[in-house]
Amino acid sequence: MSTERDKNTPSDEPLTPEGMAAGWAAMPDILEEDGEQEGGTDRLMSQDEIDTMLGFSSGDDGASRNGIQAIVDSGSVAYERLPMLEIIFERLVRLLSTSLRNFFTDNVEVTLESIRSVRFGDYVNSISQPALLSVFKAEEWDNFGLVTIESALIYSVLDAMFGGKRGQPAPRIDGRPFTSIEIRMVRRVIELVLSDAEAAFKPLSPVRFTVDRVESNPRFVSISRPANAAIRVELKFDMEGRGGALHLLLPYATIEPIRELLLESFMGEKLGRDPIWENHLATEVWQADVDVTCVLHETRMPLKRVMKLEIGDTLMFDARPDSTVSLRCGDFVVTEGRIGRVDGKIAVQVVNPLRRSKTTIAAFDSLASHLGATT
């Protein structure tokens, strides 16, 4: 009869107490109460523990990650929402749609695909080759940005500029670098995009974008540290079956000078004018009633004399009948005139042109510039 003892000990040696102890120690201890193994290496994990380790535990709302999911998401960047930045790039899309149609003399549709926050190093490593990368400088912000044109858009642009047929995808030629002529043609498109970007940012903060260089290798566009955060804007170009994607990358250090402006929810009247409201306000201002005071004379006297004034006292004015009087609106002197009588009523004849104080002029000019009207 074969037993476990025959497997663990030689058949020609008798089973000793030491051998029995070693055999019992090698066997796993089983808890009869729980039905679970005590050894940490042999214990099976429950489904909840597996989900927690993978980062897919129940009730996970995305606010907190753990396990493998936390490692995967470590490359993403949590960033604050910049409402004005979205408005600016939506304005850029409208400007580009018009500019590119005039440039290509063809129908070009531009759409804003996404605005995301990424790490600069992760973005550079994700660029698929071949591609052209243009480093540009924001003069007023004293920092750099990046424009990336994917290969599909490059070949579509070249095909459209050199008279390719419509409705057919541009032929893609791999395995060779871009020629100087191709780079110059694509550079013209990049300059057009940057010019419209200047116009989009102008109502918020005037800035000038200048192309610094055009590279084909992502290793040569180190404008920021790999771990630094940046805003990536993806624009999609469609030219009747041809097109591709263009990425505009702005490091957070580049837009830091206008960060407070980008946090605003709206720009007021800066992005556009409302002629109906302007005309209505101008009409109401011109029809407003104001009180004009005629000041015959002003004099100074001690307070104790003013306190002793009684009914019947006479105050002598140092003025003659032909002296001019001042006409005031509030605390501001409007003009001067002479006192007279017309049809039994006291009247004032204006003898000097209207004088507007510097405070009034500044306030009126500020109101006019805010409304887009002229004084």
Cβ(306)–Cβ(315) below 8 Å: no
Question: What's the alpha-carbon Rg for the chain, to the nearest Å?
Answer: 41
Query: Which residue(s) pair with 143 in the sheet?
Result: 138
Q: Could you give all domains of the chain from N- to C-terminal order, each with its CATH number?
A: 16-75 (no CATH), 83-262 (3.40.1550.10), 275-301+320-371 (2.30.330)
- Residue 351 contacts residue 338 (beta carbons within 8 Å): yes
What b/e sequence results for 148-164 when a residue is b if at least 16 CB atoms lie within 10 Å of its CB, and e otherwise? bbbbbbbbbbbbbeeeb
Across the 375 residues of the chain, what is the mean pLDDT of every consecutive 10-residue run?
47 56 54 46 70 59 53 52 83 89 84 87 85 89 90 84 67 70 88 90 88 86 86 87 86 86 63 73 86 85 88 82 83 85 86 67 54 45
User: Which residue is associated with the tokens 């897919």?
Assistant: 56
Position 30 scores a pLDDT of 43
The token pair that represents 340 in the structure block = 């007279």
Q: How far apart are CA 301 and CA 308, in angstroms?
A: 12
∠ Cα 40 46 49 (to 5°): 85
Residue 3 is predicted with a pLDDT of 46
Q: For residue 190, what are the contacts with CB-CB under 8 A and spacing of at least 6?
A: 134, 136, 147, 149, 211, 214
334 exposure class (CB count in 10 Å sphere: 0-12, 13-18, 19+): buried
The token duo for 44 is: 């099976």
